[in-house]
Amino acid sequence: MIYKKIKVEWEDITFYNGHKNITELDNLIIEKYSTIGYQIKKDKNFLIIALTLREDKQGFTDVYKFPIGCIKKIVYLKEMKVGTGIFTYKENCQDCKKLSLVDINGFCKDCYTEEEGGLKE
Ligand SMILES: [Zn+2]
């Protein structure tokens, strides 16, 4: 099972205490958040993401369950490929498609990372 890395942009109920007039009510803001995690389950009612996957991908930690109505946007994050850092081949980059010097995996300087699990939107 492959769980996609996503960024969930969502809004939350915001509570205000104290007296407000009608103009002030119009100006109350809704808090906006974004959370990055692995998409575990999604249907028409809910989205479940986990921030941490167990190595066997059968267990999850730090789990969020979002009502679909709170979600404004889901961005699918591309996992960057780990490269060698040695750019010797002139080719179109696998990621950005620009003709540039690429490493053995086909990624240019701007599209590779040395860190495993690096994220790029
Ligand atoms: Zn590139």
Q: Where are the domains of the chain?
A: 1-77, 83-121
Return the amino acid letter for 69: G
pLDDT for residue 117: 43
Å from CA of 97 to ligand 1 middle? 6
Are 68 and 81 within 8 A, CB to CB? no
Q: How far is the CA of 84 from the centre of ligand 1 (A)?
A: 14
Hey, which bits of the chain come out as E strands?
Answer: 5-12, 31-42, 46-53, 60-67, 71-76, 78-79, 89-92, 99-102, 119-120
pLDDT recorded at residue 106: 76
Do residues 69 and 53 make contact, with C-beta atoms less than 8 angstroms apart?
A: no
Token digits of residue 12: 């939350």
Q: How far apart are CA 115 and CA 117, in angstroms?
A: 6
pLDDT at 116: 45
How do residues 54-96 score in pLDDT, each as one tens digit?
888 789 999 999 999 999 998 877 655 556 667 777 888 888 8
Q: Is 42 a residue whose pLDDT tops 70? A: yes
CA of 78 to the centre of ligand 1 (A): 13
Please report the pLDDT score of residue 81 as a whole number.
54
**Is the pTM for the entire model greater than 0.75?**
no
Ligand 1 mean position to 88 CA, how many Å?
14
Cα-trace Rg, the chain:
20
Examine the pLDDT at 121 and tell me if it is beyond 50: no
Number of helices and strands (H, E) in the chain?
1, 9
The pLDDT of residue 110 is 83
Q: pLDDT, tens digit, for every residue of 2-37? A: 788 888 999 998 889 999 999 999 999 999 999 999
pLDDT at 41: 94
Class of domain 1-77: mainly beta
* Ligand 1 centroid – CA 39 distance (Å): 26
Q: How confident is the model at residue 120 (pLDDT cuts 50, 70, 90)?
A: very low
Ligand 1 centroid, distance to 19 Cα (angstroms) = 55
- Ligand 1 mean position, distance from CA 6 (Å): 21
